[in-house]
Amino acid sequence: MGEGSQRSQLEEQARNLGIRENITFTGKVRRQEISQHIAVSDICLLAGSNPFGSPIAMFEYMAMRKPVIVPDYGPITSIIEHNVDGYIFKSNEDNSLREGLNDLIDNASKRTRLAGNAYQKVIKNHRWIDNARRIVEIYERIK
């Protein structure tokens, strides 16, 4: 979903990996329609991110019980455990992304397991109320 500077590069990469027919590029989507698109997705790919922040979209996917494929950036790997609650690909290796996509495309039971574990993790540890509680705890320790 979305329209950004990397879309054409991602479409070309999907063609080169031989998986273009398995991927839908929606272009820009209105905010109120995003959850509908996520709901009909079999796999949610976070193709990239900045290397210093945790992307909100990843948590949205997890909360909607979708299996995620994510790059190996520190803030992401501090949340996702490879093959437990998501699939982590090496951001500098095209083959790693292809292997992850093929693995999940071919394995419905694995998709279900990863998505269920991701949902449990996000509900248990990564709601806004949990973030607020951690902030209050830090404040109480330093005041």
What pLDDT is recorded for position 108?
96
For residue 68, pLDDT over 90 is answered with: yes
61: left (phi over 0), alpha (psi -120 to 50) or beta: alpha
Supply the pLDDT for residue 111.
97
pLDDT at residue 103, as a whole number: 95
pLDDT (tens digit per residue) in 34-61: 899 999 999 999 887 877 777 888 999 9
Taking the C-alpha atoms of residue 41 and residue 36, their distance in angstroms, rounded to an integer, is 9
Ordered domains of the chain (ranges, CATH):
7-142 (3.40.50.2000)
Q: Categorize the per-residue pLDDT at 10 as very low, low, confident or very high, splitting at 50, 70 and 90.
A: confident
Over the stretch 81-112, which tens digit does the pLDDT of each residue have?
A: 999 999 999 988 878 988 999 999 999 999 99
d(CA 80, CA 123): 14
For the full predicted model, state whether its pTM sits above 0.85: no
Angle between helix axes 108-125 and 94-105 (nearest 10 degrees) is: 100
pLDDT for 119 equals 97
pLDDT for the residue 109: 97
Mean pLDDT across the chain: 90
Confidence tier at 72 by pLDDT (50, 70, 90): very high
Residue 54 pLDDT: 75
